[in-house]
Structure 1
Amino acid sequence: MQVTIDKNSGYCFGVEFAIKMAEDEMEQSDKLYCLGDIVHNDMEVKRLREKGLIVIDREKLQELSDCKVLIRAHGEPPETYKTAIENNIELIDASCPVVLKLQHRVKTAFDKMERENGQIVIYGKKGHAEVIGLTGQTLEKAVVVMEESDLDKIDYQKPITLFSQTTKSTKGFYELSGKIEERLKESNADLEEVSYNANDSICRQVSNREPQLQKFSKENDVIIFVSGKKSSNGKALYQVCLNENKRSYFIENETEIDPDWFLPDDNVGVCGATSTPMWLMEQVKSHLESMEKNALPI
């Protein structure tokens, strides 16, 4: 059995940057809070917790004062910064630069839509940390859509500006955008054309993973996809693997591997989400190789 790790898998720049900031800060501080899980991977969260990173929610943030709090790569709404000032909290801001740029674009577009009696629509998962940060730029007025049924929430008589959560599927974005255009035409058949502006704000470091994983999945007999169960990016990328290779398996760590998945001559590919640490994929690879050395029935 030959085991290969996908060289394109693992942390995106934003997550890698946030974890590095957390580790650097914990070397100097005896206590560091993090607003939400720093990454959607329980194994990595556990590793950093053992180093001293304390995960809190927004409710707990209101109770803190005179301390340091890390903002993870997903970014935060303006209210978080306001709370920090009021409570004398020092923010260690590890917001991804791509997300910060998108927040600025959404705020600028929202101000324009307010003047034109229009609306901001965000393609993303309602309640996701990044989406909370984006809707915060719009005084919570943005319409969040992910499924076709969500499109009923949009007013097609008013101008629309569409953005996307940075980690969503490019294909999904353009399919949804096309459906919005169709509804606009249907709703305004006898009226003047209503303004519609679609902004593909998906991070290319994330979107490029799809074609890379399609190729990787075809090159291997079995795919072991490593990701946290809470990662929406992980679920989407695993589906990419499964579409190309029916012998694809989603695991959180090596303890979930079933020897019955493999044949002796299989080429096995190990890959993961943008929230999957490389050390965890290497751990999975070592486990697979030890299975073969120990002559387990694979």
Structure 2
Amino acid sequence: MGEYGLKVTIDEDSGFCFGVVYAIDMAEEILAEDGYLYCLGDIVHNDEEVERLKAKGLRIIEHDVLKTLHNEKVLIRAHGEAPETYRTALENNITLIDASCPVVLKLQNRIKVSHDARENILIFGKHGHAEVIGLQGQTNKEALVFQDIAELDNVDLPQQITLYSQTTKSMAKFYSVKDTLIAKGYEVKANDTICRQVSNRDKELPKFVTRFNKIVFVSGKKSSNGKVLFEVCRGHNPDTYFVSSTDELHPEMFSPDDTIGICGATSTPMWLMQQVKNRLESY
């Protein structure tokens, strides 16, 4: 115990969602057997966890490198992939280790069915996000992606719209987008495909963060879900700090006898939250 005597508690419900656990377990099994494994894009939006797996032999590649590989194994992470990735793999005799999250796969399928039925698809999601690229790929890149309702102001939208959402978006924002479109006179068929494991954290976190006088939210900077959950924490406890590693913690952020809650994104490993706890307790 450091001289500050900080009382630190980790949120039991924080940490990897099942999609990420599944992908990482699969990667670790193959790494233990083969000594190396290619992964298309960062396996998880957390640099510390990516570095841990790279040290075990994970090789992160992008799509341009995939096209040059032959007769190899390549992992598809939880975010899922567009159809052309599967075509490339077939052509190059690549064995795909498919760890796409079942929630994402179900959504991909629903979007494909809507597209085949010639519906006008809007996807509420982050531009360039891995999951969103996979979703848009189901529509031959014809679906319109927007991450902010203002982007639609000068767009000539059809009268009938089918609305989908990236699985890690905030439910409140999704429903406010739907209501705004309906208020503007559009006919909206809204498909709430937000992952309940993520949206339930929106509900659970407020109860957790109000028990402490300070919160340390641990997440990678690239995590969409991290941004959403950080805002939830800050909304219920203004004394919330966002950190990606223990290097970003400093004693002057805290006062003696503070009670501190640690929580994180669905892409934050438990070992990293434990490191943060150890650092705080050493002050």
State the Cα deviation string for residues 41-98 of structure 1 (Å, max 9, x = none): 0000000000000000011111111101000000000000000000110000000011
One-letter identity of the residue aligned with 1:263: S
* Higher relative contact order, structure no. (Cα contacts within 8 Å, ≥ 6 residues apart): 2
1:46 to 44, 48, 51: 51
SS at structure 2 position matched to 1:163: strand
SS at structure 1 position matched to 2:35: coil
Given that 1:35 and 1:55 are in contact with CA atoms closer than 8 Å, whether structure 2 keeps it comes out as: yes
Deviation, structure 1 residue 154: 5.1
1:102 to 102, 107, 125: 107
Deviation, structure 1 residue 157: 3.5
One-letter identity of the residue aligned with 1:165: Q
Task: For structure 2, list consecutive stretches of 5 or more residues without a partner in the other structure.
Answer: 1-5
SS at structure 1 position matched to 2:153: helix
Partner of 2:185: 184
Partner of 1:280: 272
1:84 to 55, 80, 89: 89
Q: Whole-Å Cα distance in 2 between the matches of residues 271 and 153 of structure 1? A: 39
State the Cα deviation string for residues 188-243 of structure 1 (Å, max 9, x = none): xxxxxxx4200110000000111211111111111001001111111111111111
**Matched residues, number:** 278
The TM-score normalised by the length of structure 2 is: 0.95
Partner of 2:3: none
Q: Whole-Å Cα distance in 1 between the matches of residues 121 and 19 of structure 2? A: 25
Partner of 2:203: 211
The TM-score normalised by the length of structure 1 is: 0.91
Task: For structure 1, list consecutive stretches of 5 or more residues without a partner in the other structure.
Answer: 186-194, 292-298
One-letter identity of the residue aligned with 1:253: S
Higher helix share: 1
Q: Whole-Å Cα distance in 2 between the matches of residues 273 and 288 of structure 1? A: 19
Q: Whole-Å Cα distance in 2 between the matches of residues 12 and 248 of structure 1? A: 22
Q: Whole-Å Cα distance in 2 between the matches of residues 169 and 250 of structure 1? A: 18
Which structure has the larger Rg?
1
Partner of 1:157: 158
Given that 1:119 and 1:158 are in contact with CA atoms closer than 8 Å, whether structure 2 keeps it comes out as: no
Q: Whole-Å Cα distance in 2 between the matches of residues 31 and 258 of structure 1? A: 37
Which aligned pairs between 1:221-240 and structure 2 lie closer than 5 A? 221-240=213-232
CA root-mean-square deviation? 1.2
What is the aligned-residue identity percentage?
57
State the Cα deviation string for residues 235-267 of structure 1 (Å, max 9, x = none): 111111111112110101111111112121211
Q: Whole-Å Cα distance in 2 between the matches of residues 162 and 153 of structure 1? A: 18
Runs of 4+ with >6 A deviation: none
State the Cα deviation string for residues 266-287 of structure 1 (Å, max 9, x = none): 1100110000000110111111
1:31 to 14, 24, 36: 36
Given that 1:84 and 1:91 are in contact with CA atoms closer than 8 Å, whether structure 2 keeps it comes out as: yes
State the Cα deviation string for residues 143-173 of structure 1 (Å, max 9, x = none): 1112122223654434211111000000110
Alignment CA distance shift 1:153-1:197 (3 Å): farther
Which aligned pairs between 1:54-69 and structure 2 lie closer than 5 A? 54-69=59-74
